[in-house]
C-alpha cells in the first residue's frame, strides 16, 4: 500500500500550495465541464476549514492548442463551487503572484495563472531537474507545504507534479488519495468472464503503450478515435494521417508505430479495429467501409457496423473499461459511437469504469446516468496507467517527499 502523507497529516493554519487538475473541455475559449472543479472544491473546502491559506496551481490545455487559455474563468468556477470569492492573479511565480501570495490570509484562496505558461513546467523530465526550476525554487520558498490533488496529471513528470515534493513537505489531497485507491483497487479485481477495454480519444500516446501491458487483465480491446485510425494505418489502410490541418496523427505515429505493430501481432489479447468510419459530407454524417477507403479525409466517428460489433462484445463482457470517446462526440452528428457504446455498457450486467476528462463529459452531455456505471474516474491517462500496475510519477514523488 501507499506510504505518502495526506492532508490528515497537516497541522492547521499552514500556508499551502495546492496543485489541482481542472483541465477541462474548452470551446471558443469557454470551459464546458465542471466535474473536476466539483471534486477539488471538496479538498479545498476541507483545507479552508482547517484555517490554511491556499494558493491553487493548475493547468489548462497544452501550448499551441485552442484549449490553452488563462485560468481566470477557472477561478470563477471554483469560487461558485466553494460559494466564496477566489482571487485570481494573472501570473504564476513572478512579482505580481508573489505579492498576492504574501497578502494571503488564513482560509483565503488564490488562483495562480496556468502553470503551463511557465518555463520549466514542461516537458517531462526527472524530478531532480524539475526541483531545480525557477518555478519550483521560487514558489516553494513561499509555502509551508505542497498538496498534490491533481491525480489526473499524476502520470506526467512535470515540475508542478514532481518538483515540489523534493524541496518542501508534500501531502496528497483528497482527490489524489481517493482516485489513487479506487484505480489501484480496479487493477486488483479478478473476473471469471471476458474483460473488454474501449480505447479512443486523441491522446493515443497514453493508450498505445498500455495495450500490451494490460494483456494480463484485458481480453479484448475495441479501438476508435485517433488510436483506432493509427492502428488501421499500421494494418495497411490509407488513413490515420494529418489532413484538413489536424495535428493529431503524424507525430504520434512517428513515436509509436513500432509499438502499434507489435500490439497488432500479439496473441495475448484481441485488438478489434473499426471496419467502417463516419465523416462529414455536405454537412451531414456519411459512412464508408474501411476496406474501400482511398481518399484522405477526416474521420470523426466509428461507423454503424463497428458500433454493432463493439456493443456485441460489451454485452458478452463481465467488465468493461473505457478511456476516450470513439468519435468527436461534442458534435452530435459524430456522437453515435461514443453514446451507443456507453449506453450498451450502462445496459449490460457488467462492472464498468469510464475515465478521462473529456470522456466523463460525454456522460453528462448526452444525459446518460452516471449511476449506471460502477465508476466514473475524472482521470484518463493516469487511470489507464494505474491499471497496468505501474507507478505514477506524481505518486512516486509524494512517496519520496514523505520519506523526507
Ligand X SMILES: Nc1ncnc2c1ncn2[C@@H]1O[C@H](COP(=O)(O)OP(=O)(O)O)[C@@H](O)[C@H]1O
Ligand Y SMILES: O=C(OP(=O)(O)O)[C@H](O)COP(=O)(O)O
Torsion-angle region of 169 (φ positive above 0: left; ψ -120 to 50: alpha; else: beta): beta
Residue 327 known to bind ligand: no
Nearer to ligand X among residue 145 and residue 342 (C-beta): 342
Please list every residue from 141 through 170 that binds ligand Y, using CB under 6 A.
152-153, 156
When CB distances are held under 5 to 8 angstroms depending on the partner's kind, the choice from ligand Y, ligand X, none that residue 274 binds is none
**CA angle, corner 335, sides to 322 and 347, nearest 5?**
50
CA 220 to chain centre: 22
Residue 174 known to bind ligand: no
375 closest CA partner among 390, 387, 365:
387
Would you tell me how many other CB atoms lie within 10 Å of the CB of residue 177? 20
Give the separation between CA 286 and CA 297, rounded to whole angstroms.
Answer: 12
Q: How far is the CB of 109 from ligand X (least distance, A)?
A: 26
Quick one: which of 23, 140, 252, 263 contacts ligand Y (CB under 6 A)? 23
Q: Are strands 276-281 and 53-57 parallel, antiparallel or unpaired?
A: unpaired
Nearer to ligand X among residue 131 and residue 300 (C-beta): 300
Give the separation between CA 104 and CA 125, rounded to whole angstroms.
Answer: 31
SS3 249: coil
Residues that bind ligand X (CB under 6 A): 200-203, 225-226, 248, 299-300, 324-325, 327-330, 356-359, 380
Give the separation between CA 353 and CA 87, rounded to whole angstroms.
Answer: 36
Contacts of 351 (CB under 8 A, 6+ apart): 189, 191, 318, 319, 320, 374
Would you tell me how many other CB atoms lie within 10 Å of the CB of residue 218? 22
Q: How far is the CB of 106 from ligand Y (least distance, A)?
A: 29
When CB distances are held under 5 to 8 angstroms depending on the partner's kind, the choice from ligand X, ligand Y, none that residue 23 binds is ligand Y
When CB distances are held under 5 to 8 angstroms depending on the partner's kind, the choice from ligand X, ligand Y, none that residue 21 binds is ligand Y
Calculated CA dihedral for residues 101, 102, 105, 106, nearest 10 degrees: 70
Q: Are strands 301-302 and 276-281 parallel, antiparallel or unpaired?
A: antiparallel
Nearer to ligand Y among residue 41 and residue 239 (C-beta): 41
Angle between helices 174-188 and 35-49 (to 10 degrees): 120
Nearer to ligand X among residue 106 and residue 375 (C-beta): 375
Nearest to ligand Y by Cβ — which residue? 380
Q: How far is the CB of 323 from ligand Y (least distance, A)?
A: 8
SS3 109: strand
Is residue 62 a contact point for ligand Y (CB under 6 A)?
A: yes
Nearer to ligand Y among residue 40 and residue 203 (C-beta): 203
Would you say 156 and 391 are in contact if contact means Cβ atoms under 8 Å apart?
no
Q: How far is the CB of 325 from ligand X (least distance, A)?
A: 5
Residue 48 known to bind ligand: no
Compute and round to an integer the Cα radius of gyration of the chain: 21
Q: How far is the CB of 203 from ligand X (least distance, A)?
A: 4
**CA angle, corner 313, sides to 262 and 267, nearest 5?**
25
Residue 105 known to bind ligand: no
C-alpha cell at 49: 476549514
Residue 23 known to bind ligand: yes
Please list every residue from 327 through 366 that binds ligand Y, using CB under 6 A.
356-357
Q: Which stretch binds ligand Y (CB under 6 A): 139-147, 340-348, 365-373, 374-382?
A: 374-382
Q: Which stretch binds ligand Y (CB under 6 A): 105-113, 344-352, 375-383, 390-398?
A: 375-383
The annotation places the binding site for substrate at: 21-23, 36, 59-62, 116, 156
The annotation places the binding site at: 21-23, 36, 59-62, 116, 156, 330, 356-359
Contact positions toward ligand Y, by CB under 6 A? 21, 23, 62, 152-153, 156, 203, 206, 356-357, 379-381
The annotation places the binding site for ATP at: 330, 356-359
Amino acid at each position: 500500500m501507499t506510504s505518502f502523507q495526506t492532508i490528515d497529516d497537516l497541522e492547521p493554519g499552514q500556508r499551502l500550495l495546492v496543485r489541482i487538475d481542472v483541465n477541462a473541455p474548452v470551446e471558443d475559449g469557454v470551459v464546458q465541464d465542471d466535474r473536476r472543479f466539483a471534486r477539488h472544491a471538496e479538498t479545498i473546502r476541507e483545507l479552508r476549514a482547517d484555517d490554511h491559506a491556499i494558493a491553487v496551481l493548475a493547468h489548462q490545455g497544452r501550448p499551441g492548442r485552442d484549449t490553452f487559455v488563462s485560468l481566470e474563468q477557472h477561478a470563477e468556477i471554483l469560487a461558485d463551487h466553494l460559494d466564496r470569492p477566489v482571487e485570481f492573479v494573472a501570473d504564476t511565480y513572478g512579482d505580481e503572484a508573489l505579492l498576492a501570495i504574501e497578502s494571503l490570509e488564513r482560509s483565503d484562496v488564490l488562483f495562480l495563472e496556468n502553470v503551463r505558461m511557465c518555463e520549466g513546467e514542461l516537458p517531462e523530465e526527472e524530478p531532480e531537474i524539475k526541483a531545480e526550476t525557477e518555478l519550483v525554487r521560487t514558489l516553494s520558498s513561499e509555502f509551508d507545504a505542497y498538496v498534490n490533488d491533481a491525480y489526473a496529471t499524476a502520470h506526467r513528470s512535470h515540475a508542478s507534479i514532481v518538483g515540489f515534493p523534493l524541496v518542501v513537505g508534500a501531502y496528497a489531497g483528497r482527490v489524489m488519495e481517493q482516485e489513487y485507491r479506487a484505480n489501484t483497487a480496479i487493477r486488483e479485481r479478478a473476473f471469471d468472464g471476458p474483460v473488454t477495454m474501449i480505447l479512443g480519444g486523441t491522446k493515443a500516446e497514453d493508450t498505445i503503450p498500455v495495450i500490451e501491458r494490460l494483456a494480463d487483465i484485458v481480453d479484448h480491446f475495441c479501438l476508435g478515435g485517433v488510436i483506432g485510425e493509427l492502428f488501421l494505418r499500421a494494418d495497411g489502410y490509407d488513413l490515420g494521417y494529418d489532413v484538413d490541418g489536424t495535428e493529431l496523427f503524424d507525430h504520434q505515429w512517428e513515436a509509436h508505430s513500432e509499438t502499434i505493430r507489435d500490439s497488432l501481432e500479439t496473441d495475448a489479447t484481441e485488438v478489434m479495429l473499426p471496419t467502417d468510419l463516419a465523416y462529414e459530407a455536405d454537412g451531414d454524417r456519411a459512412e464508408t467501409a474501411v476496406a474501400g477507403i482511398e481518399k484522405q479525409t477526416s474521420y470523426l466517428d466509428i461507423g454503424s457496423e463497428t458500433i454493432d460489433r463493439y456493443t456485441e462484445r460489451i454485452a458478452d463482457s463481465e467488465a468493461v473499461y473505457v478511456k476516450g470517446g470513439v468519435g468527436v462526440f461534442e458534435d452530435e452528428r459524430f456522437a453515435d459511437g461514443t453514446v451507443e457504446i456507453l449506453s450498451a455498457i450502462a445496459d449490460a450486467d457488467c462492472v464498468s469504469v469510464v475515465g478521462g476528462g473529456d470522456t466523463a463529459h460525454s456522460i453528462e452531455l448526452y444525459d446518460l446516468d452516471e449511476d449506471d456505471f460502477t465508476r466514473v474516474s475524472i482521470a484518463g491517462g493516469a487511470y489507464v496507467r494505474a491499471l497496468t500496475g505501474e507507478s505514477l510519477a506524481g505518486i512516486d514523488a509524494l512517496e519520496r517527499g514523505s520519506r523526507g
